[in-house]
Amino acid sequence: MAGWPKWRQLRIGVLMGGLSAEREVSLRSGENVYRALKARGYNAIKLELSSPDELIPKLAEVDLVFICLHGGLGEDGTIQALLDCLGKPYTGSGALASRLALDKLLAKEAFLRAGLPTPPYIHPDSEGWLAAALEGAERLGFPVVVKPRAEGSSLGVRIVHSPAELEAALRETKERFGDLYLEKFIPGKEVTAGILRIGGEDRALPLIELRPREGFYDYKAKYTPGATEFIIPAALEPEVAQKAQELALAAHHALGCFGFSRVDLRVTEAGEAFILEVNTIPGMTATSDLPKAAAAAGIPFEELVEYMLKTAFKEGEDARSFD
Ligand SMILES: Nc1ncnc2c1ncn2[C@@H]1O[C@H](COP(=O)(O)OP(=O)(O)O)[C@@H](O)[C@H]1O
Ligand SMILES: [Mg+2]
């Protein structure tokens, strides 16, 4: 599309639902984005996806796609590649960056290549994987984190405290999620950094510290209102916070992400930060982090949605005008 579009004349499809384990979260995100776009006078429609056959006909109805799918198809680069083929602009990261971010092992390799800190890990080979995993856990030490290679929303992430629990945890994770890896447990604080492109410049938003009231930051802690305490900005020394924000921005760029993302980190008591992962399609629910981080930077929800919308045009960006 040459030049700047007349934004309010474009038919914008908010793609939501999908078939992944995060369908319900996606529906809530999509609804909020849809409402924000309508409130700001855009010609938005909801594209709720319930089966793969609906995908192409639904995409044909719109000029631009605001992707609110979490996990699976929407976040693994598949939809992005399809939209590239169809020549339809879409919000956020492209196909390759999306794929890299969702595959946490590829992402970790990319962080390490870029010289960015990520917790030490072991990826047990398919042959003799169980013995390799058990032996690897001893090397990493307990507690150890067992993670599916490609899932989100903490689904399947388990913190294993003793060797006695390990084998069952590994077998269950393997059976339910397939490929997995073990990661060194990083004690300390849980923080997340929203990344947002405004006026052609990528910024790290104020850090959010997440303190689950019980256990760790699992699915329940993420999506049950009140289950997690949010500290904004995170209670960190200013230079530690700044370093974590710089790392988050570097992680976003190391994967080739575009426009926005949310980077999860752990920060030790000594102020050392480790990158856990980059989420290319951050949640936009009432309890989600990116909207909270934006609000802390003085950016209301509807304006955040407009900045995200703008990322659909990757050249000649000018986020000053929404008309
Ligand atoms: N290496 C680790 N050390 C300590 N806690 C971890 C570690 N990895 C994951 N966690 C916990 O599990 C949560 C989910 O892990 P994460 O890698 O962000 O995957 P997801 O895609 O499921 O959000 C984190 O937010 C954190 O609370
Ligand atoms: Mg995470």
CATH code for the domain in which residue 79 is found: 3.40.50.20
The answer, yes or no, to whether residue 213 has pLDDT greater than 80, is yes
Regarding whether 241 and 151 lie in a shared domain, the answer is: no
Ligand 1 neighbourhood includes 46 CB (under 6 angstroms): no
Q: Are residues 265 and 287 in the same domain?
A: yes
How many domains does the chain divide into? 3
Kindly state whether residue 319 falls inside one of the protein's structural domains: no
Residue ranges near ligand 2 (ion) with Cβ within 5 Å: 264
Angle subtended at Cα 194 by Cα 193 and Cα 198, rounded to the nearest 5 degrees: 135
Q: Say if residue 48's pLDDT is above 50.
A: yes
For residue 269, indicate whether it is catalytic: no
- Helix, strand and coil in the chain, % to nearest 5: 40, 20, 40
323 falls within a domain: no
Q: Which domain CATH number covers 290?
A: 3.30.470.20
Handedness of CA 138, 112, 282, 22 (dihedral sign): negative
96 within domain boundaries: no
pLDDT in tens, 230-282: 999 999 999 999 999 999 999 999 999 999 999 999 999 999 999 999 999 99
106 & 237 share domain: yes
Tell me the mean pLDDT in the region 173-199. 96
At 281-313, the pLDDT tens digits run 999 997 899 999 999 999 999 999 999 999 998
Average pLDDT over residues 2-21: 83
Q: Does residue 279 carry a catalytic annotation?
A: yes
Q: Per-residue pLDDT tens for 122-170?
A: 999 878 999 999 999 999 999 999 999 987 667 789 999 999 999 999 9
| In a shared domain, residues 220 and 305 | yes
Among 96-100, 188-192, 223-227, name the one with the lowest average pLDDT: 223-227
Examine the domain organization and report whether 285 and 244 are in the same domain. Answer: yes
Kindly state whether residues 105 and 226 are assigned to the same domain.
yes
Of 115 and 321, the one with more pLDDT = 115
- Phi, psi dihedrals of residue 114, rounded to the nearest 5°: -85, 5
Query: For residue 218, which atom of ligand 1 is closest to its CA?
Result: 13
Residue 322 has pLDDT above 70, yes or no: no
Q: Assess whether pLDDT exceeds 80 at residue 49.
A: yes
Fill in the amino acid letter for 167: E
Residue where the block lists tokens 């855009």: 42
216 lines ligand 1 (CB under 6 A): yes
Q: Shortest CA distance to 181 belongs to which of 129, 252, 251, 218?
A: 129
Mutate to test the pocket of ligand 1, among 20, 154, 177 (most ligand atoms within 8 A of CB): 154
Region of residue 137 (phi > 0: left; psi between -120 and 50: alpha; otherwise: beta): alpha
pLDDT(83) > 50: yes
In angstroms, the CA 298 to CA 52 distance is 39
Of 184, 200, 229, the one marking the end of a domain is 184
217 or 143, higher pLDDT: 143
**pTM, 2 dp:** 0.93
32 an active-site residue?
no
Among protein residues, the one with the nearest Cα to ligand 1's atom 2 is 185
pLDDT at 80: 96
State the pLDDT at residue 298: 97
Residues 109 and 240 in one domain: yes
**Is residue 267 in a domain?**
yes
20 is in which domain, residue-wise?
7-91
Asked if 108 and 248 sit in the same domain, the reply is: yes
**Percent of the chain whose predicted confidence (pLDDT) is above 90:** 79
| C-beta of 183 in contact with ligand 1 (< 6 A) | yes
- Active-site residue, selected from the candidate residues 190, 209, 218, 264: 264
On whether residue 179 sits in a domain, the answer given is: yes
Are 68 and 176 in a shared domain?
A: no
Q: Are residues 112 and 241 in the same domain?
A: yes
